[in-house]
Homo-oligomer: A and B are copies of this chain.
Amino acid sequence: MIKVVIIGSGNVAQHLIKAFIKSNKIDVIQAYARKRESLKHLIDVERITDNTYKLLEADLYIIAISDQAIEQFATQIPFQNKLIVHTSGSMPIGVLDNKNRKGVFYPLQTFSKNKEVDFSIIPICLEAQNTDDYQLLEEVAQSVTTKVYPIDSQQRKAIHVTAVFVNNFVNHLYQIGVDICEENKVPFEILHPLIAETADKIMTLLPDEAQTGPAKRGDTQIINEHLHFLSKDNQKEIYKILTKSIIDHGKKL
């Protein structure tokens, strides 16, 4: 079994621990959490430490803590020449300390405490500094998912920015939809099938092929009616700018 230590107790750390425990290739020999109670529902409390000096020797250390804390934590690992990876979409591999071998193990998904995810369909983006380390990371990743990609730090940054558009910003557009519906006494659930279909379409069609609506048609009458209908300035502004971007994109085709 590959011996792994998980650093962190947040959503990513918890989902990783759960996924590795189900795998028969990975032994999570230890987890580090500043508050040991935060992980005891997942792993034997004897295996949880809050002290970096008590970290055990392992084949792989996965640092799944907030971006800002990674650099500092990496210097506190009391070993040399071990394989240490972080799980951040936005940090380069170089943020890790030079005394150890470096890598990135970035599961591309949005993790919420209140919602289970199927880890087996989550893409994991890997980066390492040599072939042996990459192969170890690949083996660990393949123990929990079928989708493993070699991704360098520049590509990972592109993925992270893209994720902001297709996840964070998309969710905010849902938020605006909820706000408009509440204001007009419409149950938002009416929009659920449209939301599902919009996401489903993009799995098989190019966004160009899937694009519909007044901006795509250049229907300025409807666009003006919608702008008049919207009551909030931020809604109007977002409507204008996305409409313009759709129109301009259409011109480039």
B-binding residues in A (CB < 8 A): 67-68, 90, 108-110, 112, 114-115, 117, 121-123, 125, 147, 149, 151, 154-155, 157-178, 180-181, 183-188, 190-216, 219, 221-222, 225-226, 229-230, 234, 237-239, 241-242, 244-246, 248-249
Contact = CB atoms under 8 A, between A and B. Distances in A.
Nearest to A66: B217
Given A90-B225, A163-B194, A229-B161, A172 B241 contact: no
B225 A171 contact: no
Contact of A166 (B158, B177, B184, B244): B177
Copies of the protein in its oligomer? 2
A199 B195 CA distance: 6
B175 A205 contact: no
B174 A121 contact: no
Is the contact region of chain A dominated by helix, strand, or loop, or is it mixed?
A: helix
Contact of A122 (B122, B159, B170, B193): B193
Of listed A68, A108, A186, residue having the most chain B CB within 10 A:
A186
A112 B164 contact: no
Contacts of A125: 190
A200 B216 CA distance: 26
Nearest to A225: B90
Contact of A110 (B168, B173, B203, B212): B212
A112 B209 contact: yes
Those 8 A-B pairs whose CB atoms lie nearest each other, nearest first: A168-B213, A158-B184, A199-B199, A175-B207, A162-B177, A166-B177, A169-B242, A174-B207
A198 B171 contact: yes
Contacts of A151: 186, 190
Nearest to A151: B186
